[in-house]
Amino acid sequence: MSSLSGLGGSLQVRPGQPCPHNLRSSRRDWAGRLTIGLPAAAVPQRLASMYGLCAHAQSLCASLCVAAAQGRLTGSDGAARRALQWETAREHLRRILLGWQLGLHLLPCSLLSASQPEPAQLLAWLEKNLLAMPATTWLSEWSRDPQACLRQWSEEGGSRLARLFAKNRASADQPLAGAPQLRPHASSDDLHELALCMQTQPQFCLRPLWRGACAETGPWTRLNNSDPALTSVWLRLGARLAELLRLALPGDTGEPGQTGADYLQAGQLSLGPGQGLAWVEMARGLLVHRVVLDATARVNACQVLAPTEWNFHAEGAVAQALAAMPSTLTPWVLRDARLLMSAYDPCVSVEIVEQPIDILVAAAQGAPHA
């Protein structure tokens, strides 16, 4: 076990090929294998090491899950919520500056450090470099009408990010059916149902379905989010920016829970003696852990259900959007595929592959897929 952080796998996508042949994941369910027999107290650190991009979210979820299995419904304290707030903000910043090709060099190193940045410093930087306007004004307009907000802001072009949104509007602002929003954490009954699926359905954590259908998760599915429905890649990209701003604002701005450290939610559920479930709203969507402990408080079973498995299901929203694209990798198709990936933000590397036409035809005719 030389490198736990290298176990995440990758995604291979093929625009223009029918589902389920246009999205292949090499992700594997390592959590159970690499935690079996561990003392309960060691689980948070082990999972944080395995999933390095959002290590605090993994550690927090595992801590809540283990506590629930031991009958301790502790909840998350203020320090844990603040750490989740800034880890998620940094993940959104990295995606915007690297994935959206604005350039990471624009960001002061202090805002990407492991420590929590000064809130006023982060907010001032965002307003100057990403928005070119006050964050509260931008968010007020976004909450009222996301489409109108992005259109007016991008047309004014006051920042590089605004001009990037304007440049990509024609391709990204097209109807996208998406999938039903994943929100089982809104109800204890739904969480019990999800736990039963994880317990009884083999491979559920790699190919999850919610009540028989694919679902999607992201910044637009938060419990504290009441924005209008998003209908395009363009608006989903906007939702990531909106959440970054909400996390950077003080918690006393607007309605309780709408900004700051209280915006993202986390919770836990005892499923019986030695059994626990926990969930955390993290950068890429809803994270769920389930654990079973033996009488000596060692791990009998451990499961991690990550956002990437919902969003990049072979029959899910991303796969459906890929199927509607042309199969020839022109610069425009590559651009559209990359925008789609950025909107749903997988936690692993992505390779975009051009599929040979003979395989395309064979797949369309129902022939076995190699």
Query: What confidence score (pLDDT) does residue 112 get?
Result: 60
Q: What is the pLDDT of residues 92-129, one digit of tens each?
A: 988 888 877 665 556 666 666 656 667 788 899 999 99
pLDDT at 298: 98
Nearest to 271 by CA among 190, 195, 186: 195
| Residue 135: predicted pLDDT | 96
The answer on pLDDT for 150 being more than 70 is yes
Q: Give the per-residue pLDDT at 88.
A: 95
Q: What is the rounded average pLDDT of the residues 318-335?
A: 94
Q: Provide the pLDDT for residue 16.
A: 95
**Taking all residues of the chain, what is their mean pLDDT, rounded to a whole number?**
89
Percent of the chain at pLDDT exceeding 70: 88
Whole-number Å distance between alpha carbons of 347 and 158: 31
pLDDT in tens, 328-370: 999 999 999 999 999 999 988 899 998 654 444 344 444 333 2
What was the pLDDT predicted at 2? Answer: 40
pLDDT computed for residue 358 by the predictor = 42
Confirm or reject CATH 1.10.3470 for domain 4-364, answering yes or no. no
pTM: 0.91
